[in-house]
Amino acid sequence: MMEIKNSIGNMENRFWDSIPDERTLICKQCGDEQTFSNKYSYRRAMGIAGLGKHDKKENSGLCGKCRRSAKRKGWTLSPEQVKRMRETAIKNQTSYDSVEEWEKSKKKKEDYYDAVDTMSRSNLRLYKPDEYKKWKSNTYNGTNYETGLTIEHRTPKSVCYEMGLTVSQAAHINNLEVISMKDNNKSWKEWEQNRKLHERMVGQNTYKKKYLIKEEWWNK
């Protein structure tokens, strides 16, 4: 019996040793080259030595990136599956109990932001016309990150909403300044870092009550 096993093993070794040592595949879809660590992986990718459990014959000859992309094609979820996944995410990651409740809150916040932006532009135009003209002549358009201008809220809209401020308070001229999108993002990051630091020092509730709104700029 041992002699038979050894004989079969020797035959298998001679078979694999007889395979040409080709390891580089040129993808038939994107044209990129992919070099495998051994000739056996190369032959499986080419569909020569059999396919893996999740491989399809039509994907033979593709590089790893294109093979993965091809496997993902056709993946679809039913509306019921999408709804269940969404409900699970909302319940686990937010304080809301249903998609409808979350969507209602989301819509309310978006409406608030839109109203603040509209009034902010009007106030800037009315009280600081030169700043408005500067912003209007070089508004950020998605491509001019370093120089494109935005109307920044010194106390962010999200904080104004969180604290229950009115639209007119959030859009007050004393809360506005015209800066580049680059500086806008920098300002936001600094605000967030400062908030997290103080929340760790005094606690979230104390910081929110005493320090989140430092001054009533709308009364100046």
DSSP letter for each residue of 119-174: HHHHHHHHH-HHHHHHHHHTB--SS-TTT-EEEEESS-HHHHHHTT--HHHHT-GG
Place of tokens 């033979």: 60
pLDDT tens, position by position, for the chain (220 residues)? 555 555 555 555 554 455 455 667 777 777 777 776 676 677 777 776 555 555 566 667 777 777 777 666 655 667 887 788 888 888 888 888 888 898 999 999 999 999 999 999 999 999 999 999 999 999 999 889 999 999 999 999 999 999 999 999 999 999 999 999 999 999 888 988 888 888 889 888 888 877 777 778 888 7
H helices of the chain, where?
A: 2-17, 39-46, 64-72, 79-93, 99-127, 129-137, 157-162, 167-170, 181-202, 204-210
Which residues have C-beta within 8 Å of that of residue 89, sequence separation ≥ 6? none
Residue 148 sits at φ, ψ, to 5 deg, of -65, 135
> What is the pTM for the complete model shown?
0.61
Distance CA 152, CA 155 (A): 9
